[in-house]
C-alpha cells in the first residue's frame, strides 16, 4: 500500500508541476536525439565558431522530432520548421517563395530568423528564435542540433514545455 501511494504522489506532482523534467537531458558532452538516444556533442562552442560554421557551409535539416519535459518522440517530419540554412544569411523552409525570405542574426547560442514580410502573403509568425544546443565540426562533416519552442498542440505532448529538435548536416563543398 505504501508503494501505491508513493507512486501516485509522484504522478500527481508531475501533473501539478509540468516544470518537473523526467526525460533525459543534455549535458556532460552529450545531447539527446530521437527516442532519448545520447550522442557525443560539443556543447561548449563559441558564438564565433557558430558564425564561422554558418558562413562557411550550407546546412540541410536531416530530421526533427518533438520533446517536452516528459517524452521524446521518434523522428517526425515537422512541416513548420526550416529545411536549409544558406551562407548568405537566409533560412529556407518548405513554404519559401521569392517574396517570403527568412534572414537571420546570431547572438550567443541563439539564432533569430526574421521574415522579410510580403504584404501579399497570409499572416503568420514574422520572427522565430532557435537555440543551438551543439555544434560539431570536423574535416569532412558537421552537425548542428538546435531547438525551437513550439506553441501548437501536438497529441501526446504538453504544449507548455513542447519543443522541436532539429538535427542539421553541413554540406561540405
pLDDT of 117 reads 61
The 8-class DSSP code of residue 122 comes to P
pLDDT of 79 reads 82
pLDDT of 158 reads 96
Mean pLDDT of 8-28: 68
3-state helix, strand, coil in the chain (%, to 5): 20, 40, 40
Q: Quickly list H helices, 17-167.
A: 47-56
pLDDT of 99 reads 57
Structure-block grid coordinates of residue 28: 556532460
91: number of Cβ within 10 Å: 23
pLDDT tier, 6 (very low <50, low <70, confident <90, very high otherwise):
very low
Q: What is the pLDDT of residues 92-134, one digit of tens each?
A: 887 666 656 788 999 999 999 988 765 555 556 678 999 999 9
pLDDT tier, 42 (very low <50, low <70, confident <90, very high otherwise):
very high
Report residue 128 CA to chain centroid gap: 11
pLDDT of 109 reads 97
pLDDT of 3 reads 40
* Residues 57, 170 contacting (CB under 8 angstroms): yes
- Phi and psi, residue 158, nearest 5°: -85, 115
**Cα(121)–Cα(76) distance, integer angstroms:** 27
pTM of structure: 0.84
Among 103, 149, 100, CA closest to 123 = 100
Least confident of 16-25, 58-67, 126-135, 145-154: 16-25
pLDDT of 7 reads 34
Residues in the chain, how many?
Answer: 173
Q: What is the pLDDT of residues 45-95, one digit of tens each?
A: 999 999 999 999 999 999 999 999 999 999 999 988 999 999 999 898 876
Amino acid at each position: 500500500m505504501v508503494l501505491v501511494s508513493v507512486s501516485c504522489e509522484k504522478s500527481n506532482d508531475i501533473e501539478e508541476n509540468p516544470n518537473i523534467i523526467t526525460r533525459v537531458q543534455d549535458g556532460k558532452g552529450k545531447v539527446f536525439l530521437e527516442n532519448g538516444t545520447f550522442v557525443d556533442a560539443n556543447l561548449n562552442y563559441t558564438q564565433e565558431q557558430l558564425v564561422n560554421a554558418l558562413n562557411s557551409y550550407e546546412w540541410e535539416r536531416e530530421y526533427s522530432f518533438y520533446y517536452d519535459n516528459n517524452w521524446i518522440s521518434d523522428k517526425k517530419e515537422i512541416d513548420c520548421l526550416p529545411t536549409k540554412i544558406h551562407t548568405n544569411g537566409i533560412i529556407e523552409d518548405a513554404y519559401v517563395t521569392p517574396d517570403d525570405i527568412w534572414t537571420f542574426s546570431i547572438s550567443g547560442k541563439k539564432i533569430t530568423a526574421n521574415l522579410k514580410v510580403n504584404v501579399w502573403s497570409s499572416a503568420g509568425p514574422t520572427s522565430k528564435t532557435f537555440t543551438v544546443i551543439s555544434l560539431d565540426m570536423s574535416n569532412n562533416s558537421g552537425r548542428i542540433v538546435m531547438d525551437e519552442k513550439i506553441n501548437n498542440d501536438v497529441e501526446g505532448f504538453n504544449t507548455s514545455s513542447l519543443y522541436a529538435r532539429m538535427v542539421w548536416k553541413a554540406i561540405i563543398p
